[in-house]
Amino acid sequence: MRKVSFLVLILSCMFMGSCNTGKKITGQQRPADKSARDYVTIDEAIAAVRVPESVAPFVAEPGGTKELPRSFSPPYRSVKPVKLFDNLYFVGTNTVGSFIIDSGDGLVMIDTGIGDTDISMMVEDMKKIGLDPSKIKLILITHEHFDHYGGVSYLKKNVCPDAKVAMSLTGWNMLQTVPSEWAYISTRPQSVDIFLYDGMRLKVGNEVFRIVATPGHSPGCLSFIFPVTDDKEPHMAGIMGGSAVWPTQTETKLYKASIEYFKAFAEEAKCDVGLAVHSTDKDFERVHTRKQGEPNPLIIGVAGFDTIYLKKYRERYLQMMNSGKITPYNPL
C-alpha cells in the first residue's frame, strides 16, 4: 500500500504540477481560477496548451502499411445498440465500440472504431436507438491505437464536422512519429482540438469528465470517470483506457502501476460501474433482458469496481508476467 501511495504521489507530480520544486509541467496549464470551480469548459480546454511548440505538427504519411490485422478486418458484425443508463449508450461491432453520453448539451463519443466501415455502422446504430449523430459535440480518444482513433476522419467529414476531438498530447505526438505499423495503422486524425491531461476535469453540458493518465497499454493512454444515472439515481462510471498487455518489462509493469493509480481516483469518485470499449453482446445480455424495476446489472458497487472490474486487468497483467513471453532487460 505504501508503494501504491508513493506511485500516486509521483505520477501526480509528473502530470499536474511542481511537487514543491517550483517547476511547472511544460505543454499544458490549468486556466485561471473561475470562482474556485474544479473543471474547465471545452473552450477553456482548447486554450490550455501553454507551449504550442510542444505539439508536434501533423504528419500525413509517416510511412509503413495500412493493412489491417485479420482479426480487425471486415466484414464486421454490429453489436446490438443499447441504452445502458439514462444518459449512456453503447454502439459497436464484434471488434470494438463506442460509448455515447448525452450531456444535455450535445453528445460525447468515447472512441471511434477502426475506420470508415465500422464507424459508419455505428452511426447508423446510433439512429436506431434515437440518437442524432450530428449532435456529437466532443470525441474523446482513450489512446493512440488504430481501433480507437480510426473513425475520427469519417465523423469529421461526414457526420459532425463541428465536433471537437480530444486526446493526450503524448498520444498525438506519438502518432506524428511512429510509422503506420502494428497498432498505429489506419487513417489518423488530422488535428486535435483539446489535449487532455492527467487530473483534468472537462465539463460538457451536465457532465464532468475526469481524466486519468494510465500509460502502459500505450504511452498516451487515458482513462475516464464520469457520472451516469439509472432511473434518475446517480452513479459513477469508470473506463480503463487500455486492455491488452504487451510483452516488455516496461510496458507490463507500467500497465500494472496504472491500474492501481486509476483505482485511487476511482475510489475517491466512488465508481460503481466499470465499462470497456471492447465490449460484446454478451457483456450487455442482462441489460437487454432487464425488466422494469430490476436492478441495473452494470452497477457492481464501489467495492466491486476494484474486486470485479479492475481484477480483470490485474489478471491480464499476471497472465503476461507468467507467460514467459516478456523480453528480459538487456545488461547496461
pLDDT tens for 213-262 read 999 999 999 999 999 999 999 999 999 999 999 999 999 999 999 999 99
User: Residue 33's pLDDT is what?
Assistant: 52
In a domain, 309, yes or no: yes
Q: Is the pLDDT of residue 192 over 80?
A: yes
Percent of the chain with pLDDT over 70: 89
Whole-angstrom distance, CA of residue 147 vs CA of residue 309: 22
Residue 199 one-letter amino acid: G
In a domain, 82, yes or no: yes
CATH number at residue 112: 3.60.15.10
Percent of the chain with pLDDT over 90: 81
In a domain, 7, yes or no: no
Whole-angstrom distance, CA of residue 302 vs CA of residue 238: 11
For 15, 47, 164, 196, the CA distances from 28, given in Å and listed in that order, are: 10, 9, 18, 9
CB 277 within 8 A of CB 239: yes
* SS3 (DSSP) at 282: helix
In a domain, 64, yes or no: no
Other Cβ atoms closer than 10 A to 63 = 9
The set of cell numbers assigned to 127 is 439512429
In a domain, 19, yes or no: no
Average pLDDT over residues 129-155: 98
In a domain, 192, yes or no: yes
pLDDT bucket at 78, cuts 50 / 70 / 90 = very high
User: Residue 89's pLDDT is what?
Assistant: 98
Q: Is the pLDDT of residue 36 over 60?
A: yes
Q: Is the pLDDT of residue 5 over 70?
A: no
* SS3 (DSSP) at 251: helix
Mind listing the pLDDT tens digit for each residue in 146-171? Answer: 999 999 999 999 999 999 999 999 99
Task: Name the residue range of residue 123's domain.
Answer: 39-50+77-321
Average pLDDT over residues 163-190: 94
* SS3 (DSSP) at 312: helix
In a domain, 2, yes or no: no
What element of type H or E holds 151? none
CB 209 within 8 A of CB 259: no
Strand ranges, E, within 147-263: 164-168, 194-196, 201-204, 207-213, 222-230, 233-239
User: Residue 283's pLDDT is what?
Assistant: 96
- Quote the mean pLDDT of the chain: 90
Q: Helical H runs in the chain?
A: 2-16, 42-46, 116-128, 146-149, 152-158, 169-175, 249-269, 285-288, 301-304, 311-321
Q: Is the pLDDT of residue 19 over 50?
A: no
State how many domains the chain has.
Answer: 1
User: Residue 67's pLDDT is what?
Assistant: 85
Q: Helical H runs in 182-276?
A: 249-269
Which strands make up the sheet holding 40-41, listed edge to edge?
A: 40-41, 201-204, 207-213, 222-230, 233-239, 273-275
CB 302 within 8 A of CB 272: yes
The set of cell numbers assigned to 93 is 461491432
Sort strands 107-110 and 136-140 into parallel, antiparallel or unpaired: parallel
Write down the pTM of the prediction: 0.88
The set of cell numbers assigned to 29 is 496549464
Whole-angstrom distance, CA of residue 313 vs CA of residue 301: 17
In a domain, 20, yes or no: no
